[in-house]
Structure 1
Amino acid sequence: MSNKLTLNNSFKLYDEALKLIPGAILGIRRPYNFVEGEYPIFFESAKGGKVIDVDGNEYIDMLCAYGPIILGHREEEVDNAVIDQIHNKGFCMSLTQQIQNRLAKKLRELIPCCEKMVFMKLGSDATTAAVRVARAYTKRIKILHCGYHGWHNWSSEVHGIKAGIPDKLYEDIYGFEYNDLNQVENLIKQIGDDVAAIIITPINTPGGREIEMPKEGYLEGIRELATDNGSVLIYDEIRTGFRVDMGGAQKKLGVIPDLSAFGKAMGNGYPISALVGKTE
């Protein structure tokens, strides 16, 4: 059995952070999500697939920074491109730079549903924009969803984050279980005339649990229900995009949505996301 880790510096920084930041650490990285006293709280550096904490302990980063680091930490080709942009061109201007068009063309080459796209910073931004676009396009309100789609108000409460969010924001949000096509059919029968969109994770990636692949006919059934009902089919590919295939799960599985949200692995840790979809 290995010796107990020395984590004194982590705990010292944690005590300091408690006086400065609510909960000390933001989001899912908070210590209460791990074994208390046995898990590092602060990392110091990272390279490739390894990270080092503030006490000098080295780890293999199996979490990949919770998803984004698909190429490894401090991947030189990516980092050098960013450094070059910052040093030689700048990155925050009043008008758009031509690099936007280069990236847009590349996404259109890779992603089956991608005819046009918009760029954002967070995965939550992209899924929320997708829902808004679907509502504007269909002139309907209700949303059927399966999975986690970010921390914005329309989706947070269904995953237990309720404080500060009015209940009325969820009156038009209906959840269903992954791989349960009958549930979706029944919801369509009940409220179909006002369903703006069905948003799903094409491959189920529940946090802390085994990844679940779609049953035979599940995605095809969802696609057919959305089309027949005049609803927009949205794929949340924040986790699957550029990971299961460069074109996302839709490319690998062959069932094409109307809109898709991409993020995480898209930037290898840099804050970028995209909403892509059909021109219509």
Structure 2
Amino acid sequence: MAKSKKIIPGGNQLLSKRAEMFLPDQWPAYYKKSKGCEVWDLDDNHYYDFSIMGIGTSSLGYANNEINDAVISSISNGSMSSLNCHEEVELAEKLIEIHPWAGAARFTRTGGESCALAVRIARAYSKKDVVAFCGYHGWHDWYLATNLTDGENLDEQLLPGLKPAGVPKQLQNTVVPFKEGDIEEFKAIIDKYGDNLGVVMMEVFRHGLPDIAFLKAVKALAVEHNIVIIFDEISSGFRLNTGGLIF
């Protein structure tokens, strides 16, 4: 770990996988093998991953045989080309079938990139700059800009102490947080920003069951005030049912 920190800022590529998030100087930062819910570190210590499973992405377990076979077959046919892989069309069709409210699908590489793209599209559609948000939505400029206004704005969303260094100061006052379950705070944001508020981005749920009444109340206010609403289900999608929550 000491070696990695000398050549990689933070020691790895993802904040949510850093040893400091769990047990500094004791957490095994790197693995050699994984299968099902079992993990082996570089010293061959054996662990059971009974909680986060690849930050929630590995719902079928590590090194699933069926998925491995499909990936190996794809690699043998070439994993890169100047042409597009035909499977993306099949995947888009399946996603639209699962989510009939969607008219099209667009793929991104990370959750933060997905949120940034969604906010840009929503701002373009609404022709308004101010975004209200509830929850954690990545590390891009649009999101961290809220800490330009108040350095503690993100403290109750998930990760406290995030610095907006490098975020353009012109983005100050363009992003406003509200707390999960506090519909009065969201109403106050609508009253304060009025017609300048064009987008609301929120997680459906993260650590507990979703507050359906709260989600419906936010959605109703968004529809009433012509605000584009985005449900960020990067951490919740496919967890309770196939696809996202529908209400």
Question: One fold, TM greater than 0.5?
Answer: yes
Aligned equivalent of 1:229, options 220, 225, 228: 225
Aligned equivalent of 1:182, options 161, 166, 184: 184
Q: Is 2:243 the partner of 1:247?
A: yes
Structure 1's 219 and 23: CA in aligned 2 closer, same or farther, altered over 3 A?
closer
Q: What is the match of residue 65 of structure 1?
A: 54
**Stretches of structure 2 lacking an aligned partner (at least 5 in a row):** 148-153
Measure how far apart 1:229 and its partner are.
1.0
**Stretches of structure 1 lacking an aligned partner (at least 5 in a row):** 1-13, 255-280
The residue type paired with residue 10 of structure 2 is G
Aligned equivalent of 1:107, options 66, 73, 95: 95
Deviates further, 34-43 or 76-85? 34-43
- What is the DSSP-based 3-state SS (H/G/I as helix, E as strand, rest coil) of the residue aligned with 1:117? coil
Measure how far apart 1:92 and its partner are.
2.9
Structure 1's 131 and 53: CA in aligned 2 closer, same or farther, altered over 3 A?
same
- What is the DSSP-based 3-state SS (H/G/I as helix, E as strand, rest coil) of the residue aligned with 2:105? strand
Q: Is 2:149 the partner of 1:165?
A: no
Query: Residues 156-199 of structure 1, C-alpha deviation per residue, up to 9 Å, x if partnerless?
Result: 34351322223332421010000111111111112121222111
Query: What is the correspondence of 1:1-280 to structure 2 with a 5 Å cutoff?
Result: 14-26=1-13, 27-61=15-49, 62-88=51-77, 90-156=78-144, 157=147, 158=154, 159=159, 160-203=162-205, 205=206, 210-211=207-208, 213-214=210-211, 217-248=213-244, 250-251=245-246, 254=247
Query: Residues 207-236 of structure 1, C-alpha deviation per residue, up to 9 Å, x if partnerless?
Result: xxx42531x521111111111111111000
Between the aligned partners of 1:239 and 1:82, the Cα distance in structure 2 is 24
Between the aligned partners of 1:75 and 1:113, the Cα distance in structure 2 is 31
Contact 1:145-1:173 at 8 Å conserved across structures: yes
Q: What is the match of residue 3 of structure 1?
A: none
Higher relative contact order (CA 8 A, sep 6+): 1
Structure 1's 98 and 23: CA in aligned 2 closer, same or farther, altered over 3 A?
closer
- What is the DSSP-based 3-state SS (H/G/I as helix, E as strand, rest coil) of the residue aligned with 1:120? coil
Contact 1:111-1:246 at 8 Å conserved across structures: no
Contact 1:143-1:173 at 8 Å conserved across structures: yes
**TM-score normalised to the size of structure 2?**
0.86
Contact 1:154-1:170 at 8 Å conserved across structures: no
**TM-score normalised to the size of structure 1?**
0.77
The count of aligned residue pairs is 231
Provide the identity percentage: 32
Between the aligned partners of 2:35 and 2:82, the Cα distance in structure 1 is 34
Between the aligned partners of 1:200 and 1:42, the Cα distance in structure 2 is 32
Between the aligned partners of 2:196 and 2:68, the Cα distance in structure 1 is 46
- What is the DSSP-based 3-state SS (H/G/I as helix, E as strand, rest coil) of the residue aligned with 1:28? helix
- What is the DSSP-based 3-state SS (H/G/I as helix, E as strand, rest coil) of the residue aligned with 1:19? helix
Measure how far apart 1:112 and its partner are.
4.3
- What is the DSSP-based 3-state SS (H/G/I as helix, E as strand, rest coil) of the residue aligned with 1:240? coil
